[in-house]
Structure 1
Amino acid sequence: MSQTETRSRRPEPARPGRPRSARADEAILQATLELLAEEAGVAGISMEAVAARAGVGKSTVYRRWPNKERLIVDALAALKRPLPDPAGGSVRDDLLALAEAMCRERSAKHGRCLWNVLGGADKYPELLARYHREVIEPRREIIRRVLRRGVETGELRADLDVEAAIEMLVGAMTLQSRAPAATAPPEDLAERVVDTLLRGIAA
């Protein structure tokens, strides 16, 4: 191979540019969540309003997110912590760890934002579909793996309706986000929910 051909195949050096600001990202996401909590729905959000609340230029927002639906999904995702990786000791231990993690996510802002978005789901079906696909479904898959493993090991019923069991667990924990901020859930809520669920689905 000639030197000319070798040079032509070398990757071009990276072009210098302004690094993306993590502080700006955080400010934009927080501004979006504040507006979602205040404006009672997606319709009250605009990229201009987010930029003004975050203290950045509108172009800064658009460089990161092409539209408000994409921005809202990422903002809602920022409210959720990663679920723990199941240790695999027992179905009860794994479900309890997951339920406790979901319980710790409870916040007044979380509840207002989520339910304000769900309230306008009929007008923004793609937003809700993206939220379920990119935020909710990966978390549900973690629970799904625990339940399927329990069926395989004989800890859970062979005829278990896995999806229904997921709904029961997630629904019980999610409803806590709708409770008044001053009403803290019982400390043993996760344990009670998991044990009640297991009484119905255990082998």
Structure 2
Amino acid sequence: MRALVIEDEPRIASFIEFGLTAEGFTVEVADNGADGLCLAESAGFDVIVLDLMLPRVSGEEVLHRLRAGGSTVPVVVLTAKDAVLDRVTTLNAGADDYLVKPFSFAELLARIRARLRSAPAATDPTVLTVGRIRIDLARRRCWTGDRSVELTNREFRLLEVFMRHPGHVLSHAQLLDLAWGYAHDPGSNIVEVYISYLRKKVGADTIETVRGGGYRFVDRSA
């Protein structure tokens, strides 16, 4: 199970991450609504724990955009807003559950498990194919044509991001958010380094550099 925690208070985010990890979840954390929305829209999570009072993009707006975009992933709202109107408005906007801070982790876990039991079966594909390149998300394997390619975990994650957005120009900042899951040093060349690694392994012509824009994954099979 993959969980996304969108929470700007480090102590609470760390508390939830530690608890869910101990329960067998793979957890990613975003400390603002913009990064959280970006992750939620691009990586297949089974559940989202969402604070409402977030910097950059509010939790209400994150929820609105997810539901407007057709996402059905269960969202458990965790917030200090305890008014009845806040609860009603948020549930009507598409939240699956609403828990007020302070909270017990046992109750949060029980609510998450309840939502996962009632959630529809995931439709996220386990195999992605773009042109001659194919990756198996469950087994973490990659092929170009009939040739198996060995990738590190980070290379695999970056390739997955590209293959979920074929033909789209992804900026340096977007790739950091999606593949690394946090705001890395914007002056770092880590994105360029890993793109270089990928080009050597899956083909130099598969990832285009777009001047002033970023990078684009291209189907070269035709």
Instruction: Give the TM-score normalised by the residue count of structure 1.
Output: 0.31
More strand by share: 2
Larger Rg: 1
Query: Which of 1 and 2 has higher RCO (CA within 8 Å, sep 6+)?
Result: 1
Instruction: Give the TM-score normalised by the residue count of structure 2.
Output: 0.29
More helix by share: 1
